[in-house]
Amino acid sequence: MFLSGLIYDRFSLVVMALVDEVKNRSDILQVISEYVDLDVSSRQPKALCPFHVERTPSFVIYPDTGSWRCYGGCSEGGDVISFVMKKENMSFAQALENLADRAGIKGDVFDKNVSKKPVTKIFDANDISAEYFLSRLKAPAGDTVREYLVDRGIDIETAARRGLGFAPSGMETLSGHLRTRSVQAAQLVMQVL
């Protein structure tokens, strides 16, 4: 048994998970080699920096950490996403979508034909989830949790205002509830919860 707080920032968690997935599935050497000629003869691959003019390679790639750094004129550095952002003059979202597409990652987050913005879908699903958790807190199955809250000076009205609820063991119950409410983002929310 555990308490569920507000699910207000779940979209951020979904984006963070997507960013991690894109980074994990994007080979930084392969991506950067599409833009520059890499010298892989040394321990660390290096190249002439694509962001300023130079004669001696100062642009170093660290495949183990998925990062790059220029030790020359611009002193820039970052990961595969920041490289594509800088090289293609893209926003973070555009670079993320570009790399996700290259890595074969698909989802509602990038679907241009989806009628609602992904954020709105997620917030709708979160609101439904919060209502569900509150209803579980008010149900007989939530007796022990309500007692726990009362012992700490939190009545049911305060719990409702604060977005507290009860999540019974097994998230299948929430998943089923979201499906009955025709929440298309259910799978995305379930990955976060």
Q: pTM here?
A: 0.54
Q: Are 112 and 93 in contact (CB under 8 A)?
A: no
C-alpha of 15 from chain center = 2
- 39 strand-pairing partners: 46
Distances 166 to 104, 136, 138, 142, 155 between C-alpha atoms, Å: 37, 6, 9, 6, 14
Task: Report the length, in residues, of the chain.
Answer: 193
Distance CA(117)–CA(181), nearest Å, equals 18
pLDDT tens sequence for the chain (193 residues):
333 343 434 556 667 778 888 898 999 999 999 999 999 888 899 999 999 999 999 999 999 999 999 999 899 999 999 999 999 998 888 898 899 889 888 755 555 554 445 555 666 777 777 888 888 889 898 899 899 999 999 898 888 888 888 887 765 577 777 777 665 544 554 445 4
In the chain, the amino acid numbered 180 is T
CATH C-level class of 27-102: alpha beta
Domain ranges for the chain: 2-14+111-192, 27-102
For tokens 């000076």, name the residue: 153
Q: Are 136 and 1 in contact (CB under 8 A)?
A: no
